[in-house]
């Protein structure tokens, strides 16, 4: 699962949806891999305003990557600085969580990730 995807996920438990603690989910025992993917600058530039930057900073730190700046780069900065673009591409698109868990900060439920696929099916008592 991509780091980018994690930015659009929350706990599946209905009573967690209204809690700010259910987003972002927290990776635990994460085993990472990196895919080699061609950069799509247009996609990245347009994607950036749709990303919850604070949540991405949290995720990035929890996965052991260097702290991201407080503010997201602007479209101009992305266009002018290839390194900023590449770093963002590498974090969002290329980095994969292959094994591990995603933990909800509100209810504590742990969702398993196996072979790169997160499973959000809930046991019946949580539905």
Partner 1 sequence: MATPSTTPSALPSLSAADDVAKLTAPSAVTETGTAPPAAEADADAYERTHVHGVYEAIAPHFSATRYKPWPAVAAFLHAQPPGAVGLDVGCGNGKYLGVNRDVFMVGSDRSPSLIAHARTRTKQLQTQVVAAGGAGRDGGGVAVGTDVLVADGLVLPFRERAADFAICVAVIHHMSTRTRRQDAIRQLLRCVKTGEAGRTGGRGQVLVYVWALEQGTSRRGWEEGGEQDLLVPWVLKSRQKQQKQQRGTKNQGGGAPEEPGAAPSHPDPVFQRYYHLYRKGELEEDVLAAGGAVVASGYERDNWWVVAANEPVHQGEQ
| Residues contributing to the site for partner 1 (CB under 8 A) | 1-2, 4-5, 7-12, 14, 17, 23, 35-40, 42-50, 52, 93, 111, 115-122, 124, 127
The whole-angstrom separation of Cα 108 and Cα 113 is 16
Q: Which of 3, 4, 16, 44 binds Zn ion (CB under 5 A)?
A: 16
Q: Among Zn ion, partner 1, none, what does residue 106 contact (CB within 5–8 Å per kind)?
A: Zn ion
What is the nearest approach in angstroms of partner 1 to the Cβ of residue 75?
A: 10
The whole-angstrom separation of Cα 80 and Cα 84 is 9
Phi, psi of 86 (to 5 degrees): -65, -40
Q: Which is nearer to partner 1, 43 or 80 (CB)?
A: 43
- Alpha carbon separation from 78 to 63, 84, 91 (Å, rounded): 23, 6, 14
């Amino acid at each position: 699962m991509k780091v980018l995807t994690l930015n659009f996920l929350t706990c599946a438990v209905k009573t967690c949806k209204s809690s700010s603690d259910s987003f972002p989910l927290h990776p635990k025992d994460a085993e990472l891999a990196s895919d080699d993917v061609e950069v799509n600058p247009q996609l990245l530039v347009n994607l950036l305003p749709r990303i919850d930057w604070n949540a991405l900073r949290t995720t990035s730190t929890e996965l052991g990557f260097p702290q991201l700046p407080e503010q997201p780069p602007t479209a101009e900065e992305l266009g002018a600085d290839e390194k900023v673009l590449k770093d963002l591409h590498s974090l969002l698109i290329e980095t994969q969580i292959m094994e591990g868990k995603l933990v909800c900060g509100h209810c504590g439920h742990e969702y398993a990730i196996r072979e790169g696929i997160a499973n959000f099916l809930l046991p019946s008592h949580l539905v």
